[in-house]
Structure 1
């Protein structure tokens, strides 16, 4: 709710911070057993809030990404939630000037809610009709009949779309090869088709940490308030953010320095665990800090309890075992001048 209020005030920076804090809060282990009487607030719920905030702020590309994320996260059994997510996506697509795909998503929503009784969905459909009205004159070009989102359905969709395009061109008397692909005869329809395929592809979480040392070779570790173990400085990447920029942003937000990461030391694929899907974790060389740079470090983020420089033996005790395995591999790579690839901390 805080993020929504900040979005209404057009404070994009504070809104992004509130959403980021909410995301980190979801990573914490709950202190109490969830109540069966209260709907849980999970990753999908957060994506829904983020999509609405980004739409309010005018960040339509991020609003679209978050709306597609909701659709991807909601199981087929969550019909009402998926319907709301698709309706939200349609409003964003219309605002972006993408009426073809908006019509396609609208048609999918109608198929999805067949037999569903929901006053709120009906109300939003009425609002949607008004938004689509200005595009009715061009409805003959709408790509609203592409069926399915499975690989087989997408392939069939592409074939049908190309056939419609071919018949349309022949009906106008145009000369065209019988097998002209959709990306040539109707680029807009082709982009809508690709966007639908992109929405169904898996998303991976990405995190980036820095291996920072002092002149004695000790490692910089941080103590987050929201989990029991120490960690390397860094964090999870935001949408479409390069891992190197994640390092710079997280270090500046948490400890103050504006450091440019160096060599990539380690990539670790982490398998699904707990509520989380798989992820890719990067460790970069953060360099050696001198006494002046260390003196300028400080706790700039209320999510950290402390930071300190530790020997490798200390770090092995403070870090979670799989994080230490990743860190040890990064140290080995640093000395050998190479990059290690791991899976769950193992070569």
Structure 2
């Protein structure tokens, strides 16, 4: 138990130490457990999946009996799982197989496989519970004791409950943020303040963001008001200062989400990558002119945002451009 607590405090660890016996004759498990996620990402969705049920345990001899949940039997019987990560017998997990239970890489490999299995509709897996964060903490309680996989829409987590009543894990996946800027030919640098441009004159746009830890499925969305024309053929994507070819991302010039264009990065980005997207455009004849007497005149807006994880949405960043007078 000390080892389990130690590792759980260090990182999001799943399936730590299996000093188990499928024939243990010991105390019954009648309590309930609780998983608390601290530093949760606001509005992110969290799901838990129960993989193993703790049927009984012998505290004195540190022996536990974990039965595989019926929905997960096929997963544990797969050739790349059984006798590779765990040993099973008669529907029970009997021990962890590997070079050491504190090997982070090995735990991450196992967790990734479990998440992929859970998210494949063909496997018929449904979450035990799910909640959307409304602040910086999420709690799952009244849980049957066992081992749980915890997934976040901002990226993968993995957590566990054992015979302890409660375990706390910390979300280390940060919500990504995006920044939009623009400049005219007369400007020396991009700005995020309002601009005044002549009709049909070129405007340079720039979108930037940094890839955060654990976050997946990045898609960049860009939407321009009707008074702004975007040249979709001018779009360029740079990652860490290197221009990427179009086969390294998917550019949709006519998306069905109401945006001007979308860029799906197809999970080819890595943590801490700095992404910069540039393109050009201009104001059209119907562009709005600054009118201080008209409070409804919001200018010509071009905004960008990211979607990531499982349909999570980042901040919206925009630039406002008025037709020059």
Instruction: Indicate the structure with greater strand content.
Output: 2
- Name the TM tier (shorter chain): under 0.3
Instruction: Indicate the structure with greater helix content.
Output: 1
Q: Tell me: higher relative CO, structure 1 or 2? Use CA pairs within 8 A at least 6 residues apart.
A: 2
